[in-house]
Homo-oligomer: A and B are copies of this chain.
Amino acid sequence: MKALEEKILKEGVIAPGHILKVGSFFNQQMDVPFMMEMGKEMARLFADEKVDKVLTIEASGIAFGIAAAYHLGAKLVFAKKKKSANINNDVYTASVYSYTYKQENTIMVDKEFLIPGERILIVDDFLANGEALSGLIDLVKNAGAEVVGCCTGIEKGFQGGGDRLRAKGVRVESLAIIEEMTDDTVIFRH
Q: Which residues of A contact B (CB under 8 A)?
A: 19, 21, 23-24, 28-33, 35-36, 58-60, 62-63, 65-67, 69-70, 73-78, 80, 82, 84-87, 99-102, 109-110, 112-113
Contact = CB atoms under 8 A, between A and B. Distances in A.
A28 B85 CA distance: 14
Nearest to A36: B70
Contacts of A66: 30, 32, 35, 62-63, 66-67
A4 to B, nearest CB: 17
A-B pairs with lowest CB-CB distance, top 3:
A58-B59, A59-B59, A30-B76
Number of copies of this chain that the complex holds: 2
Contacts of A86: 19, 21, 100
A85 B17 CA distance: 12
A70 B28 contact: no
Given A33-B70, A66-B30, A100 B75 contact: no
Contacts of A28: 77-78, 80, 87, 109-110, 113
Contact of A76 (B19, B32, B70): B32
A67 B31 CA distance: 12
Given A32-B70, A58-B59, A86-B100, 15 more contacts: A21-B86, A23-B113, A28-B109, A29-B75, A30-B65, A30-B77, A32-B69, A36-B70, A58-B58, A59-B59, A59-B62, A60-B62, A62-B62, A63-B66, A85-B100
A101 B59 CA distance: 16
A54 to B, nearest CB: 8
